[in-house]
Chain A
Amino acid sequence: MNVIAPAKVAENDEQPFYQPHHKIYPQSVHGTFRRIKWFVLLVTLGIYYLTPFIRWDRGPGEPSQAVLIDFPHRRFYFFFIEIWPQEVYYITGLLILAALALFLMNAVAGRVWCGYLCPQTVWSDLFLLIERWTEGDRRERIKADGGPWTANLVARKTAKHFLWLMAAWWTGGAWVLYFADAPTLVHDLATFRAPPIAYIWIGILTFTTYSLAGYMREQVCLYMCPWPRIQAALTDEDAFNVSYRLDRGEPRMSVKKSIAARARGEAAGDCVDCHQCVVVCPTGVDIRDGPNLGCIQCGLCIDACDAIMARLDRPTRLIAYDTDINIRARMQGKPTITRIMRPRTVLYAGLIAVVGGLMLAGLLTRTVTSINVIHDRNPEYVLLSDGGVRNAYGIRVLNRRTTARRFAVAVAGLPGAALDVVGATKVDGRQVVEVGPDQTREVRAIVSVNGSAANSTPIRFVITDLADGSAASATDNFRGPGAS
């Protein structure tokens, strides 16, 4: 805690401008949750670094990368899914799903995201691993930082920063691979022929990874991230959280004192105040203070405490995933209850099912052919010399197949209508428009009728694939000078 020199305060009653930084030296730990975290780290980093290299055959002329964000051609590819810019609502849906999944995780087991899955946690863990390899564990690091600069320390620090920069560089390197053909880009990067923007982005991500995972670490969770604030408002007494079971732990005292106290028949908690839960904590909080904004609930204190409890022949899980309501129940001697299924979790799960179902339905019913029509607004119609009426439309034909296709354009619903599609070729009296692979084409359609038409007649534009007969249509109105 920062303490102000009383003399200074006496002068002007000022408080410090900033929170002094206490560097955190998390100690290594072994146990169930550490193993889970290593596993999650391997899987998530593996997904991140390797996904761009997964190939997916989409046919000639199409990108063969499974996951690709193709900005120049305005396409997003995800395995069998190909998203066009106007279908950005799939991304919206994904974001909604992600938020709901976060809420559900939180309602069931607290900050699962923070503790195991958040990139800030995963990369910080990776960087801590490198730090431990090069500089040693907590004690060695504290000692070295407090002591003189020796050649050995300089070598260790140099190695650490080199490895950090390598990891950060590869993080940025993998990032850019999602935006271009990965093998080609790797080759271009290695031979210094990649576009400058690739190097710029790698540089930016190298810097952010290096500073966020190397230096900022818990500061990101404490000061930058909004989720701890939101999470605190979303959690409830039935949610499992990494908790210190104060019903069992208090009053905390040393092993000797607790033996003496128990011999006297006095209450003595299982907590021996060894501070192992604090020294392993990556954000430097004391879990025994209760739910805490700084606690990312990674479970490492559970491992640390279990090791001590096992050594003392006391039951493990003095710190454990537990709920507020059960801690209170045990203190009052009531039976504990676990309620995973409750309105909150059911609602979140239901919403996830609904949004996911809608997205799936959208994907399954996604068409490979479609047509949009926009009626000319100025003018809405023109009169012809024989008294007939002419309307013009912009029609946009979408071809989501990977081959060029030819469509016959026709208009229905208006007897005697003559259709002229600008730029179409005439095949057997039909107006045929060719649309390139995976493209749209906009053409002007001019519809004319003899004699005066009613004010507004609904008409339908139909496109028919000449090769397979599949069709799509769109409706609009034919307008005239009638009783308007």
Chain B
Amino acid sequence: MAEPDRPHIDTLTGIPTTGHEWDGLTELNQPLPRWWLWIFYATIVFAVGYWIVYPSWPLISSSTNGVLGWHSRTAVVEALDELKASRATDVAQLAATPIDKISSVPAVFDFTLAYGRAAFGNNCAPCHGAGGGGALGYPNLIDDDWLWGGTIDAIRQTITYGIRNANPDSRQSAMPAFGREGTLNNTQIFNVANYVRSLSGLKLSPSADIAAGAKIFADNCAVCHGADAKGNRAVGAPNLTDAVWLYGSSLAAIITTITNARNSSMPAWGERLDPTTIKALTVYVHSLGGGE
């Protein structure tokens, strides 16, 4: 800034400089065109308009509402309504098609499976797994083993009314806690547990008395699980001769089951979901792999 009363002009280009200097380097002043500045001012005006029209300024426990009354929650509700409206035809078709005919109408079937998959993810996956693979104590819905039946009607019944809950129509049954209630002593439980494992060809404890176990089974268990131990779907008694074990097949797991009993429950989804969703869920679960 040798001469403070005049803009610095770069001698080579004839363009004024900004007056800034770094070790002898000066910067040419190349200002933006006016329209660019206008656009910049316009964005400021736009921002002010935005504050007025939309929710913007945070307050202590809320925010300014904006004169349009727009709210993200109402926007979500509107979007959901729009979605429902766009699906209305398909849903109506699903509702109108008898449940056992759905799989024979490809368009309805595809929609039903997609609808069922979404409903399954929202309601059933926490226990049965995202893919229906189940978990310890929560049945696998892909295999071919069913406690209460794998037909369309049986699945719909189970989903609608649930298992061992307060709904009067829910599936009911209760395995006695043979050990805890004193019906069987530890040796008897040990023997019958080994007998049950023998039915599936699992490894037995050398000290077990299988014959005694068989006798105990016939006296105490066969009434529900059947003399052949193949279970009874009427009371949800599992087949004890197959390879599928809801609570595990180890000796300890079986002894625990006989001692304390396992009576898990499932909600009556008919109390929470509409019939069309139950229908879609039924068809979806039936399609997972084990449907009968």
Contacts and interface: CB of A to CB of B under 8 A. Distances in A.
B109 interface: yes
Contact of B143 (A4, A385, A423, A444): A385
A384 B144 contact: yes
B18 to A, nearest CB: 6
A23 B131 CA distance: 68
A382 B289 contact: yes
Contact of A379 (B4, B15, B142): B142
Interface in B241-267: 242-244
B160 interface: no
A423 B106 contact: yes
Nearest to B288: A392
Contacts of A1: 14-15
Interface of B: 1, 4-7, 14-16, 18-19, 29-37, 103, 106, 109-110, 113, 129-131, 133-134, 140, 142-145, 239, 242-244, 287-289
Interface stretch (A8-16, A184-192, A301-309, A359-367): A8-16
Interface of A: 1-2, 4, 6, 9-10, 13, 15-21, 216, 219, 222-223, 376-379, 382-387, 390, 392, 420, 422-423, 434, 441, 444, 446, 448
Nearest to B132: A379
24 contacts: A2-B16, A9-B6, A10-B4, A10-B5, A13-B4, A15-B7, A19-B33, A21-B33, A21-B34, A222-B33, A377-B131, A378-B131, A379-B131, A383-B143, A384-B143, A384-B243, A385-B143, A385-B243, A387-B243, A390-B144, A390-B289, A392-B288, A423-B110, A446-B289
A9 B5 contact: yes
A442 to B, nearest CB: 8
Contacts of A9: 5-7
B210 to A, nearest CB: 21
A120 to B, nearest CB: 15
A384 B140 CA distance: 10
A18 B33 contact: yes
B109 A385 contact: no
A17 B143 contact: no
Nearest to A380: B133
A378 B130 contact: yes
Contacts of B129: 378-379
B244 A385 contact: yes
A235 to B, nearest CB: 21
Contacts of A21: 33-35
B5 A6 contact: yes
Nearest to A222: B33
A16 B32 CA distance: 10
Given A9-B7, A10-B4, A423-B103, A382 B142 contact: yes
A87 B81 CA distance: 33
B16 A4 contact: yes
Contacts of B36: 18, 223
A6 B140 contact: no
Given A10-B4, A390-B142, A423 B31 contact: no
A188 B31 CA distance: 47
